[in-house]
Structure 1
Amino acid sequence: MKRLHRLTAILVKLQSKKIVQAAELADKFEVSLRTIYRDMQALTDAGVPVGAEAGTGYYLVDGYSLPPVMFTEKEANALLTASKIISTNNDQSLIDEYQEAVEKVIAVLKTTQKKKLEILEQRVFTYNRTKINPSTSLSVIQQAITDFRVLEIQYTKASKEFSKRLVEPLGVYFTNNTWIMIAHCRLRKDYREFRTDRIINLIETQELFPPKHFTLEEYYKLRYEDWITSEHSDYEHSLPKENQ
């Protein structure tokens, strides 16, 4: 990769993350750490406000922004293809938000690129099975996860039992064409999992909850340990689920 292209790519990387480590950049661009140090100095000399934290990494000073990024044809094709895949998931809010993002990308493309995308759009197909109970709440849940906002949900379990509760959303995952929300349920005073297609109504409250230390890796490790402890005898009830 030519140095100019690498410097541009480094700028994009810096703008996309809060902190970027030199070793991470060296691995990505297959150059030495010394080369990365020289690149950072070159960016600084060019007037880019790059900050550095010893032992942590580099960052862009708040307030600095790059001009609009131009997409290559392959990148635009990848985004279009991804939109086809996303359209097969069962949450309409994700479909709508992603489609708006793709439209913004298409808006900055050259006319020749747009024409090629029109051809590709007609020649990429993904099977979209009928959604029995489509969800519409994923976008709100994702926002609540990053805002640490309490949600009030009306939820129907597989048994058709209806409940209303306050939850602190912590994560989501996708399985069997269904989005699952992991949250701390104030009713159960423990972690629970909720199928988004069984959320009848969702309200964003004005209440914020204190940030919790939570990682999916640790969560699933705990789930697995609970399963082993139960010796498979009562597996269905040993998992912290409300979607049984």
Structure 2
Amino acid sequence: MKRLHRLTAILVKLQSKKVVQAAELADKFEVSLRTIYRDMQALTDAGVPIGAEAGTGYFLVDGYSLPPVMFTEKEANALLTAAKIINTNNDQSLINEYKEAIDKVIAVLKTTQKEKLEILEQRIFTYTRTKDNPSNTLSVIQQAITDFRVLEIQYTAASKQFTKRRVEPLGAYFTNNVWVMIAYCRLRKDYREFRTDRIINLIETQEFFPPQAFTLEDYYKRWTEMYNSSSSSQ
């Protein structure tokens, strides 16, 4: 990668994340740490307000914004293909939000790029399975995860039992054409998983819960350990 392209890519990376580590950039661009240090100095010399904190990483100073991002044809093609895949998922809110995002991407493309994208749009296809019970709550759940907002849901379990409960949403994953929300359930006083297609009604409350250190990796590690422990005791 030429240096100019790398510097531009570093700027995009800085704008997309709160803090970026030098080692992360070195791995991404397959260069040495010394090269990254020189690149950062070059950007600073060019007037880009980059802050640095020892042991943390680099960041853009608040208030600085980059010019609109321009996409290559391959990047635009990848986004269009992702949109096709998104359309096959079972949550309508995700489809709607992604469509809005794609429209903004297309708006900044050159005329020739738009024409090529129209051709590609007509020539790629993803199979859509019939959605028995599509959901429309994922965008609200995603927002609640990052806002630490308590949700009130009316839920029908696999046993057909209907319950009303307040939950603290922590994560979500997609499997077997279904979105699943991971949350701390105040009714059961433990972590629970809720299929979004079984959420009959969802209300955003005005209550917030304290942020907690939660990652899907840690969650599944704990679940695996519990499962293995249970299996070995049988």
TM over 0.5: yes
Q: Which runs of 5+ in 1 are unaligned?
A: 235-244
SS at match of 1:202: strand
Does 1:164 find its partner at 2:164? Answer: yes
- Give the total of aligned pairs: 234
1:28 to 1:229, Cα distance in 2 relative to 1, 3 A? closer
Residue range with higher mean Cα deviation, 92-101 or 22-31 = 22-31
Q: State the one-letter code of the partner of 1:22.
A: A
What residue number does 2:55 align with? 55
Aligned-partner residue type, residue 105 of structure 1:
V
Q: Which amino acid aligns with 1:95?
A: I
Deviations 1:35-70, CA, capped at 9 Å, x for gaps: 111111111111110000012211000111100000
Kindly report structure 1 stretches of 4+ aligned residues shifted beyond 6 Å: none
Which secondary structure does the structure 2 equivalent of 1:129 belong to? coil
Q: Who is 1:193 aligned against?
A: 193
| Aligned residue in 2 for 1:5 | 5
* Cα offset, 1:232, TM superposition: 7.7
Give the aligned CA root-mean-square deviation in angstroms. Answer: 1.3
* 1:221 alignment counterpart: 221
Counterpart of 2:90 in structure 1 is: 90
Partner of 2:46: 46
Q: TM-score normalised to the size of structure 2?
A: 0.97
Residues 165-207 of structure 1: CA distance to partner in whole angstroms, max 9, x if unpaired? Answer: 0000000011110000000000001000000000000000000
Aligned-pair identity in percent equals 84
Once residues 2 and 221 of structure 2 are traced to their aligned partners in structure 1, the CA distance between those partners, rounded to angstroms, is 44
What is the aligned partner in structure 2 of residue 123 from structure 1? Answer: 123
Q: Which sits farther off after the overlay, 7-16 or 29-38?
A: 29-38
Q: Deviations over 1:108-160 (max 9, x none)?
A: 10111111111100000000011000010000000000000000000011121
1:207 aligns with 2:207: yes
Per the TM alignment, residue 229 of structure 1 is displaced from its structure 2 partner at its CA by 2.6
| Partner in structure 2 of residue 104 of structure 1 | 104
Match of 2:64 in 1: 64
Whichever residue aligns with residue 185 of structure 1, its letter is C
Give the aligned residue type for 2:129: R
**Partner SS state of residue 106, structure 1:** helix
TM-score, structure 1 normalization: 0.93
Which range moves more in the overlay, 22-31 or 196-205? 22-31
Q: In the aligned structure 2, how far is the partner of 1:42 from the partner of 1:222?
A: 45
- Provide the secondary structure at the position in 1 that maps to 2:231: coil
> What is the CA distance between 1:233 and its match in structure 2?
8.8
Equivalent AA in structure 1 for residue 33 of structure 2:
L
Aligned residue identity for 1:209 = F
